[in-house]
Chain A
Amino acid sequence: MARQGILVDRPYERLTGEQVQLIHQSSMDILRDPGLISFNKEAVEVLDGHGAVIESVAGDHRSWKVSLPEQVVVEALKSAPRTVKLGARNPDNTVVMHGDEPKVYLITGSETNIWLDVDFPTYVHKSDPAREIKVPEFKPRRGTVEDLCQSARVCEHLEMVDGFIRNVNIQDRDITEQNKDVNKYFASLNNNTKHFMSGLTSLDQLDNVVRMAELIAGGEKALEDNPIISFITCLVKSPLQLVQDTTDTFIAVCRRGLPVAVSSSPQAGTTAPIKEAGIMAQINAEVLAGITLGQLVKPGTPVLYGSVPVRARMDTLNDSYGAIETSQYNIDCVQMARFYGIPNYSTSGVCDSKIPGQQSSVERLFSDIVVAMAGPQYLHCAFGLLDCNSVFCLLQAVLDDAHFRMIEFLLRQPRIDQAEMEVVLKQIRTVAATPQKLYINYIRPVLRSGELSGIYPFEGSGEADQVFELAHERMQELLAMPVEHIDRETTARIFEEVPGILPRLNVYEREN
């Protein structure tokens, strides 16, 4: 068994076949000239050995100009798997993605610094003290490892969430650069049985993180068969620069053969051209460069075509995920990934809004619907994220889950076939002959079959808007639900073999 995903039978595509070819060819031209600047020596050595043209920049021996001939890229792409399996602690949560199949899996993310608490203080009307209203108040604070545990627990129970990307940057006083990775991996894996993806803070911790995953999966081979963890690396800094540290991480992960998302996040207007043609040619070149490097390091490494394009805000030059163009770029990227047959890591639901509310709903739903319609396989849909992914709010995640249930329904295929038509024609003829001319009696057989969409789950009983209050009640219910932790024996081995995990994360020690 694996997670079902949402099959988008006829995906929404913006680009014509000619435009896809033009972007592809332009990306190839870009990779040849001007090529990339690499700040990573090992990447230069790998690429040099496979036909790239290398030139030291100003003779500084710290950066190199890399010109990638089209043939190098085309050959490397051939070994990139068209099917990528992302395992899970609970095998029923496995995600299997095919690059040519527009089946969408919904994933959380990204790492936020701020955790947004919500409270509902009561306000009394000044001139009429009998009138009281509850107004949500949002209070930001620095995220902690306990927050990440809570988020993982809630996301375990959110039905629409197919996989978990760590979404809280843990900033406790006892968290350091050295122990951050093991703690974020353990906190997430111990509270969530879905697939887990994260970036690495320190490459030194890769061995520890992988050992932890091996212990949970049941050994090295078991982890290979059931890769319960994967990584995301932004090895290319736009425009066209291979960064030293993340490229090191990327190469190390590829050598392990674990799944990895090659992500690029250019900003149209600053780190990429403001024109759609420009950002598309560039982001495609950047992602292909990463995939090429990965395949040259270890052919067959399971990679995702990771696209996080965004347009700049004109008032601040910050990212504007709420900009309509951001969705357009993402839809284009989905189409490009499908052109190469490589599963796509796409982005939606990121919003400019700082708190849950009307702006966040509009911005999120707009991109969630249209990007999902494009049929990306691995959709980072920013469950609970606000303020351009710098803030996480559990209440928002609960709302997002409800909204994605609606989107899932929207994307269902029409049930129109001969048998169905015969049934309804009979109904039409029967009802036409009755005095009341109502089809209501035919509703009941489908009423509880799942064939009808439900009413908005957080609709209040009166005229007042109770969405936040009801979603908050749901959030509390989810937080109170138990999760299946890693078993006692495995937990003990993890704490024995993997250094740096905070003792307070050991649920069995807490029991004693």
Chain B
Amino acid sequence: MSKDTIAAIKENVIQGRKTQEDVGIDDTLAGTPGVMELMEQALEDNISPQSIITEGLTAGMEVVGEKFSSKEYFIPDMLASAEAVGAAMDVLKPVLEKAKVETKGRFAIATVKGDIHDIGKNIVAILLKGAGYEVHDLGIDVPAEKIVEFVREEKPGYLGLSALLTTTMTEMGVVIGALKESSLRNSVKVLIGGAAVSDEFAREIGADAYCADAFSAVRALDSYQKAS
């Protein structure tokens, strides 16, 4: 029974069905339980959170990643799956905390001061949450002081900065400078992304990585995880 439920969770992650209302790729699943309903069932059946995560959620996301790489899936598919996993992780959070199981890491993300564009930022947040990270979205038009304060107080291991405009990208350097002044620069990996920035610009301002898209953000964080 537990194996069936975990397999169903995995399948519904692949289908990107958060709830039974959602439409997946396979029409025949319409009306059947989605990830959230199956999570409820799994917890009722006392299935271990580790099994749910590794054999259900992560295993499902791995298949989604493969389908994306082979161009069978598109970003909306990936996001639907990541959203389902993110919602499942929210359900599991208290259980994990009780069992003292840690997430893959704490990630803060913000669109820098002067910039209100947030599509890229939101997609990165959804994907990283779906990949098992604890995500804190600080919002748009966020001044450097507020970001520094968050890093000091909440101690995220990773910080993502987003900017679309050439006029606001320089603010990323301001944030890194403020982190240095506050002696916090070495406590956090800084990743930057957005239409205006580049690998060269990341090196110029002293960022740890430039992420060309949301997937490269996931890859970068995973590589830091492996290295640590």
> Is A467 interfacial (CB 8 A cutoff)?
no
Bound-state CA distance A447–B23 (Å) is: 12
> Is B74 interfacial (CB 8 A cutoff)?
yes
Bound-state CA distance A190–B123 (Å) is: 54
Bound-state CA distance A441–B17 (Å) is: 11
A447 touches B74 (CB 8 A): yes
> Is B160 interfacial (CB 8 A cutoff)?
no
Q: Which of B99-136 contact A (CB under 8 A)?
A: 118-119, 122-123, 126
- CB B211 to nearest CB in A, in angstroms, measures 18
The interface residues of chain B lying within 8 Å CB-to-CB of A448 are 25
Bound-state CA distance A377–B119 (Å) is: 44
Q: A433-477 CB contact bits vs B (8 Å, 1 = yes)?
A: 000111011011101100000000000000000000000000000
- CB B64 to nearest CB in A, in angstroms, measures 13
- CB A444 to nearest CB in B, in angstroms, measures 5
Summed over the interface, the residue pairs from A and B with CB atoms below 8 Å come to a total of 25
B16 touches A438 (CB 8 A): no
B80 touches A444 (CB 8 A): yes
Bound-state CA distance A102–B36 (Å) is: 51
B25 touches A443 (CB 8 A): no
A438 touches B80 (CB 8 A): no
Bound-state CA distance A436–B83 (Å) is: 12
A440 touches B25 (CB 8 A): no
B122 touches A444 (CB 8 A): no
Q: Which of B58-100 contact A (CB under 8 A)?
A: 74-77, 79-80, 83
B79 touches A447 (CB 8 A): no
A443 touches B122 (CB 8 A): no
B79 touches A440 (CB 8 A): yes
B77 touches A441 (CB 8 A): no
Bound-state CA distance A447–B119 (Å) is: 19
Bound-state CA distance A436–B79 (Å) is: 13
Bound-state CA distance A366–B205 (Å) is: 45
The interface residues of chain A lying within 8 Å CB-to-CB of B16 are 444
Q: Chain B: which residue is nearest A444 at the CB level?
A: B76
Tell which of B77, B118, B119, B126 touches A444, judged by Cβ atoms closer than 8 Å.
Answer: B77
A438 touches B119 (CB 8 A): yes
Q: Chain A: which residue is nearest B25 at the CB level?
A: A448
- CB A446 to nearest CB in B, in angstroms, measures 10
The interface residues of chain A lying within 8 Å CB-to-CB of B74 are 447
Bound-state CA distance A445–B30 (Å) is: 12
A438 touches B23 (CB 8 A): no
The interface residues of chain A lying within 8 Å CB-to-CB of B76 are 440-441, 443-444, 447
Q: Chain B: which residue is nearest A436 at the CB level?
A: B122
Q: Chain B: which residue is nearest A455 at the CB level?
A: B71
Q: Chain B: which residue is nearest A452 at the CB level?
A: B74
- CB A463 to nearest CB in B, in angstroms, measures 12
Bound-state CA distance A438–B74 (Å) is: 16
Q: Which of A438, A440, A443, A447 has the most CB of B within 10 A?
A: A440
Bound-state CA distance A152–B75 (Å) is: 39
Bound-state CA distance A444–B80 (Å) is: 9
Bound-state CA distance A445–B122 (Å) is: 21
The interface residues of chain A lying within 8 Å CB-to-CB of B119 are 438
Bound-state CA distance A444–B27 (Å) is: 12
- CB B92 to nearest CB in A, in angstroms, measures 22
Bound-state CA distance A493–B40 (Å) is: 72
Interface residue ranges, A against B (CB under 8 Å)? 436-438, 440-441, 443-445, 447-448
Q: List 19 A-B contacts (CB under 8 A).
A: A436-B118, A436-B122, A436-B126, A437-B118, A438-B119, A438-B122, A440-B75, A440-B123, A441-B76, A441-B83, A443-B76, A444-B23, A444-B76, A444-B77, A444-B80, A445-B23, A447-B76, A447-B77, A448-B25
Which 7 A-B pairs have CB atoms at the shortest separation, nearest pair first? A443-B76, A436-B122, A444-B76, A440-B76, A440-B79, A445-B23, A444-B80
**Apart from A440-B75, A440-B79, A441-B80: 8 A-B pairs, beta carbons within 8 A:** A438-B119, A438-B122, A440-B123, A441-B76, A441-B83, A443-B76, A444-B76, A447-B76
